[in-house]
Structure 1
Amino acid sequence: MEKTFADLGLSPELLAAIQAQGFEQPSPIQAEAIPVALTGRDVVGQSQTGSGKTLAFGLPAIQLADPTDRRTQVLILCPTRELAMQVCAEIHKVVSFKEGLRATPVYGGASYDRQIRALQAGSQIVVGTPGRIQDFVDRGTLRLDGLKVLVFDEADEMLDMGFAEDIEKLMESLPKERQTIFFSATFDPRIRRLIDRYTNNAATITIQQKALTVPTIEQRYYEVQGRSKTEVLCRVLDLEDPRLTIVFANTKKAVDDVVDSLMARGYAADRLHGDLNQMMRERVMRNFRSGNVEVLVATDVAARGLDVNDIDLIVNYELPYDTEDYVHRIGRTGRAGRKGTAVSLVAGREIYLMQRIQRFTNAKVDRTKVPSQEEVETKLVDQSFEKLKATLEAGTYTKHEHTTQRLLDAGFDMTDVVSALLDLWMKEGSREGEQIMEDRASAKKDRPQREFVPREGGAEGAQQGGDGAPRPARPGPAGPRPAAEGMKRLFINIGGMDNARPGDIAGIIYNTCQIPAGSIGSIDVLPKCSFVEIPEALAPAVLTSIEGATFRGRDVRMDMADREGSAGAANWAPRPPRRDEGPARDEGPRREDVGGGYGGGGGGGYGGKPRFGGGGGGYGGKPGGGYGGGGGGGFKGGPGGGFKKPYGPRRDDAGGGFGGGRRFGNNPGAGGFKPRRWDSGQGAGD
């Protein structure tokens, strides 16, 4: 007889929460893990994503938490912010039935202030990524002295993503007396070492993984920059030329952004997500089935129950975290014996999701080179040719004999007339592509290596052009371009060297400052900083709200780009001339160095200025020899001086001081430290 949730020892409040969500029977991992976890024993569970493991560890943790104690009692670690948000959403559904309990998600890329306020208000359950959790522990914002339950969700993914050091550091600050729960899809030696080190007499629960199968469709992925996704999506649509396409994104906002971008580029696109009422949903689906809408952008939840058989292309604009969702997505193409194609756009850490998808589906998803704009244009020309050929063969066109004859009578050649018409037609049906980072990387890879030709003149030639001619001076950096009318240009201290993209910068500002969507103007990312345009009225609020925000562990700082003395203005200050841009030391006098040695006496000094030389002194022209000596001039000494003579002779100072009279001074006397260059007895600049 199969177990029910009531058989697992759960409290009435939790049973009510489960019933409200429509669950009738526990999944295998829930049936095995919940009773053991409720006893307080350590648990090690092996179960794939989508098996119900969130409730398997979440329900016991919630039941064991004390609502009267405001300290953090349950800590759930997740490898990504997406999973942390997903797990916390599931926890919230249950916590709402147990009065006095609060759950807070903590992850990078979001406002520090908001998360700090939530923690200070008292949160018994915290769900987050190891990096941000450790950050709050270091700051003293998150105290874990009252921790009862520690959960590792997707432990193998955490190690794959490089969180091992964060985990080890975090474990040092946790109470020794606690319950530890590990959930992982795989148990390689790294996971085993972690389990052996941090658990005590753990119960091991392994659920036989069901085989996930995918339809026999062509699957491939493109590894792209996050900001390049929309352009790559457009190129894929142009190359594949599908009749109907579904593009999947993970959030309603992402769906809206993709639809707006596609429509702006001339594609017949529409959206399907939870904000649409039933009437709007039916209208969208009616237009999609009829072909009036060719690209449908949807979330997984909104696409459930979608039944359209002749979908040619599925695009994962964002990969789902749940492997089964990937299978459900691509299963909507290739039906009824039709050819189907599934394409995924993979950016950054999504590559780990793609690796896991391949591991659990036992399907090979080929990595493919991002199509170039030239490939797209060639394909569009071929498509136009086939359409024109089919039209001519079918004879389904109107003969414009009169207009044609007028053009011929005007002296135009028939070939020129046809070429001009084709040019107009193809320009009208094409879109203007964007240059993306992948294009530059591909061009650099395909560029033939230049043959190395040694410069004539050796090192001297290196300071000049290859032909011996003086190299022209390098232009200084251009100043920041002026902001658009009504906008204010702001400096932000993160750039390309921080792996920041325009989308990252926009995300920081939107998440932190709560400004209206679409407010941000152009964003210029430089190696060490960036510049962003904000409506002038919103700029002061943005500068105030951004304080405390971080990007990948680095404090974010913003300032006006054009205010005198600001960080933004300083960033554009012209650099001082480099040493190699002036004449070499031995090419003659510089800066009116009339007479005397470097900083030395004898009637001159560096730059011929009295304060740097003097009649009988050394560097600084001080009495009795000055800094570094005296006697007869020269840098730091002459024959009667020495290096800092008042403090005692040092380093062969008997007859010339540091540098002596041979290297820097105009006295050829004995002594000195390592005489070299300018050995004629002349000072530097003589």
Structure 2
Amino acid sequence: MTFEDFNFKPQLAQAIKEAGFREPSPVQKEAIPLILEGRDLIAQAHTGTGKTAAFGLPVLQQLSCDGSVEALVIVPTRELATQVSDEIFRFGKALSIRTATVYGGSSYTRQIQHVQSASVVVATPGRLIDLLQSGKISLSPRFVILDEADEMLDMGFLDDIKEIFTHLPESRQTLLFSATMSKEIRTLAQRILKDPATVSITGGNVTNEKIRQLFYVVDEPERDDALVRLLDYKNPDKSIIFCRMKKEVDRLRDFLAAQGYDAKGLHGDMDQRQREATIRAFKNGQAEILIATDVAARGLDVNDVSHVFNYHLPFDPESYVHRIGRTGRAGREGTAISIVSPHEFRSLQRIQKSVGSSIESRIIPRIEEVRAQRSDALIQRIEKQEVDTASYELIEELKEEYDLTTLACKLLSMLRDEEEVRGADRIGKDLKEIERLFTRMKEERHYKKGRGGRNYNNNRRRNDRSGGYRKKESGRR
């Protein structure tokens, strides 16, 4: 199937072609025909599967451009509002369709002016409800889309969403897109949708199959060293590191900067101008690493993120899904890496069971492995390097003092010295230690279920005194 099968308007079809779209993604393939039929829709699909085009293209196809707002897209964050608006504008500009973006932290007057001349409005709940309740704008859209509905509910926007729909016309086509489908989402859908069709792309696995998921087990004091070693070994082109707290983002940004990495931080205490500048620098390649909290990175849409790192595991499976969904976008492959302490094993198992995908155990590479990997990368770099005239002249000058072999060794040594491998040779647990930790966890669960808490604690104390559990766990500390 291709996009030509949808029989879009010539201008829209040309915009799709110029964007490099050839075959529709699964969610696009299923959702677009239903939307064109006029059905309300509940679509569950993980992040990065082309949801914006899945609702944007069929809506743009049906707009009449009569001078009023015909489509309203509600999203959880300012960043996502900007990105969705940009993508809809890119597809709709050949049709002379104007978009307006409405979110907090910007001028009311300017946003109201933009709304008055727009066919499509993309808005966050807080600013939108302010404008509707104050009477500064009045909307009667034919199409209403809730994008990333689960994130909006996680951020506490449920009451705002309900209030917004009291200001919208009953005769409308409503589309709800969500990566996860909780009871609250289903209840909301029953309230605002009429006889909806359902699209579910996830099956039993709610994560993108193009994302390889790995975890590395370390003791708590080893986290920083493990992160640096993995960055050195994986050498990601563009990566996001997720932290739980704002102060952790700032600390890790400063730590990585001291190690020579070009890292930027993103969290809720930054003002809008700082946030936009940071995201722009990351998108444009001026920063190779973005360190962010979950809330700050919600809706962040950067297609060329090769790796996502969980410095700590998130508190819930939904956050894990959203985090790793920042990589493996637009049909690309990606890697999601979690740094896990033994105390986080239960959280890891809960996440793996919830998302329905395999998270593979790996060992932190040792120094020699990193050096070997860097040697391979250096060979590739040399093969691709073009030679300029000035270099030839310099070689001729140096040949008077050194033979070519000595000269080449000196130059390569200079390059290798610039890439020192940092940290201890061995970091984290090996596979046997990880297996023992999992076995211990199963034994503890067996004691709790079969013998009761008191007997379990007594058994554990006896094993501690006899060197049983604790001796096994100590390993090489």
Task: Identify the TM-score tier after normalising by the shorter chain.
Answer: 0.5 to 0.7
1:67 aligned residue (48, 65, 68): 65
Q: Which residue is equivalent to 2:99?
A: 103
Contact 1:259 1:269 in 2 (8 A): no
Q: Secondary structure at the match of 1:56?
A: helix
Contact 1:8 1:31 in 2 (8 A): no
Once the two structures are TM-superposed, the CA of residue 315 in structure 1 deviates from its matched residue by 6.6
Contact 1:72 1:143 in 2 (8 A): no
The answer to whether structure 1 residue 128 and structure 2 residue 123 are counterparts is yes
Q: Which residue is equivalent to 1:167?
A: 161
Contact 1:105 1:126 in 2 (8 A): yes
The C-alpha deviation readout for 1:34-78, integer Å capped at 9, x for no partner, is 122123222222222222221111111112222232x22111111
Q: 2: CA distance between counterparts of 1:241 and 1:59?
A: 42
Inter-CA distance 110–360: structure 2 relative to 1 (3 Å threshold): farther
Q: Which residue is equivalent to 1:91?
A: 88
Q: Which residue is equivalent to 2:188?
A: 194
Q: Which amino acid aligns with 1:91?
A: I
The C-alpha deviation readout for 1:625-676, integer Å capped at 9, x for no partner, is xxxxxxxxxxxxxxxxxxxxxxxxxxxxxxxxxxxxxxxxxxxxxxxxxxxx
Contact 2:102 2:123 in 1 (8 A): yes
Q: Which residue is equivalent to 2:325?
A: 324
Q: Which residue is equivalent to 1:248?
A: 239
Question: Higher relative contact order at CA 8 Å, sep ≥6: structure 1 or structure 2?
Answer: 2
Q: Which residue is equivalent to 1:414?
A: none
Q: 2: CA distance between counterparts of 1:275 and 1:183?
A: 28
RMSD: 4.5
The answer to whether structure 1 residue 267 and structure 2 residue 259 are counterparts is yes
Q: 2: CA distance between counterparts of 1:180 and 1:172?
A: 14
Q: Which residue is equivalent to 1:625?
A: none
Q: Secondary structure at the match of 2:94?
A: coil
Once the two structures are TM-superposed, the CA of residue 125 in structure 1 deviates from its matched residue by 0.7
Once the two structures are TM-superposed, the CA of residue 88 in structure 1 deviates from its matched residue by 1.8
Inter-CA distance 184–67: structure 2 relative to 1 (3 Å threshold): same
Q: 2: CA distance between counterparts of 1:191 and 1:263?
A: 40
Q: 1: CA distance between counterparts of 2:323 and 2:88?
A: 17
Inter-CA distance 118–363: structure 2 relative to 1 (3 Å threshold): farther
Report runs of 4+ in structure 1 exceeding 6 Å deviation: 257-261, 315-320, 327-330, 355-358
Contact 1:323 1:360 in 2 (8 A): no
Once the two structures are TM-superposed, the CA of residue 29 in structure 1 deviates from its matched residue by 1.8
Once the two structures are TM-superposed, the CA of residue 260 in structure 1 deviates from its matched residue by 13
Aligned pairs for 1:460-539 within 5 A: none
Once the two structures are TM-superposed, the CA of residue 263 in structure 1 deviates from its matched residue by 9.2
Inter-CA distance 198–261: structure 2 relative to 1 (3 Å threshold): closer
Contact 2:145 2:175 in 1 (8 A): yes
Contact 2:213 2:359 in 1 (8 A): no
Q: Secondary structure at the match of 1:216?
A: strand
Q: 2: CA distance between counterparts of 1:238 and 1:112?
A: 47
Q: Which amino acid aligns with 1:79?
A: P
Q: Percent identity?
A: 32
Q: Which residue is equivalent to 2:48?
A: 50
Q: Secondary structure at the match of 1:269?
A: coil
Q: Which amino acid aligns with 2:153?
A: L
Q: 1: CA distance between counterparts of 2:305 and 2:2?
A: 30
Q: Which amino acid aligns with 1:38?
A: L
Q: Which amino acid aligns with 1:186?
A: T
Inter-CA distance 357–52: structure 2 relative to 1 (3 Å threshold): farther
Once the two structures are TM-superposed, the CA of residue 82 in structure 1 deviates from its matched residue by 2.9
The answer to whether structure 1 residue 297 and structure 2 residue 289 are counterparts is yes
- Rg comparison, structure with higher value: 1
Aligned pairs for 1:240-639 within 5 A: 242=229, 244=232, 248-249=239-240, 262=254, 266-270=258-262, 275=284, 297=289, 301=303, 314=309, 323-326=324-327, 342=338, 359-360=354-355, 362=357
Name stretches of at least 5 consecutive residues in structure 2 with no aligned partner: 242-248, 264-280, 291-300, 313-318, 341-349, 361-421, 423-477
Inter-CA distance 112–8: structure 2 relative to 1 (3 Å threshold): same
Once the two structures are TM-superposed, the CA of residue 218 in structure 1 deviates from its matched residue by 1.8
Q: Secondary structure at the match of 1:97?
A: helix
2:18 aligned residue (14, 20, 26): 20
Q: Which amino acid aligns with 1:192?
A: R
Q: Which residue is equivalent to 2:146?
A: 152
Q: Which residue is equivalent to 1:119?
A: 115
The C-alpha deviation readout for 1:289-339, integer Å capped at 9, x for no partner, is xxxxxx9536955555x9xxxxxx957799995643346899669xxxxxx
Q: 2: CA distance between counterparts of 1:356 and 1:38?
A: 36
Name stretches of at least 5 consecutive residues in structure 1 with no aligned partner: 223-231, 251-256, 282-294, 307-312, 334-340, 345-354, 366-428, 430-686
Once the two structures are TM-superposed, the CA of residue 7 in structure 1 deviates from its matched residue by 1.6
Q: Which residue is equivalent to 1:206?
A: 200
Q: 2: CA distance between counterparts of 1:268 and 1:126?
A: 42
Q: Which amino acid aligns with 2:78?
A: R
Q: Which amino acid aligns with 2:88?
A: I
Q: 1: CA distance between counterparts of 2:302 and 2:179?
A: 23
Q: Which residue is equivalent to 1:216?
A: 214
Q: 2: CA distance between counterparts of 1:150 and 1:325?
A: 25
Contact 2:73 2:144 in 1 (8 A): yes
Q: Which residue is equivalent to 2:379?
A: none
Task: Count matched residues.
Answer: 303
The C-alpha deviation readout for 1:109-143, integer Å capped at 9, x for no partner, is 344344234224x1111112212211111232331
2:178 aligned residue (171, 178, 184): 184
Q: Which amino acid aligns with 2:182?
A: D
| TM-score computed with the length of structure 1 as normaliser | 0.38
The C-alpha deviation readout for 1:520-540, integer Å capped at 9, x for no partner, is xxxxxxxxxxxxxxxxxxxxx
Q: 1: CA distance between counterparts of 2:143 and 2:80?
A: 19
Q: Which residue is equivalent to 1:36?
A: 34
Which structure has the highest helix share of the two? Answer: 2
Q: Secondary structure at the match of 1:31?
A: helix
Q: Secondary structure at the match of 2:133?
A: helix
Q: Which residue is equivalent to 1:469?
A: none
Q: Secondary structure at the match of 1:66?
A: coil
Q: 2: CA distance between counterparts of 1:188 and 1:319?
A: 15
Contact 2:283 2:302 in 1 (8 A): no
Q: Which amino acid aligns with 1:39?
A: E
Q: Which amino acid aligns with 2:141?
A: L
Q: Which amino acid aligns with 1:248?
A: S
Once the two structures are TM-superposed, the CA of residue 151 in structure 1 deviates from its matched residue by 0.7
Q: 2: CA distance between counterparts of 1:364 and 1:94?
A: 37
Q: 2: CA distance between counterparts of 1:29 and 1:201?
A: 19
Contact 2:73 2:121 in 1 (8 A): yes
Q: Which residue is equivalent to 1:663?
A: none
Q: 1: CA distance between counterparts of 2:333 and 2:10?
A: 40
Contact 1:76 1:150 in 2 (8 A): yes
Inter-CA distance 106–316: structure 2 relative to 1 (3 Å threshold): farther
Q: Which residue is equivalent to 1:6?
A: 4
Q: 2: CA distance between counterparts of 1:362 and 1:40?
A: 34
| TM-score computed with the length of structure 2 as normaliser | 0.53
Q: Secondary structure at the match of 2:95?
A: coil
Once the two structures are TM-superposed, the CA of residue 197 in structure 1 deviates from its matched residue by 2.2
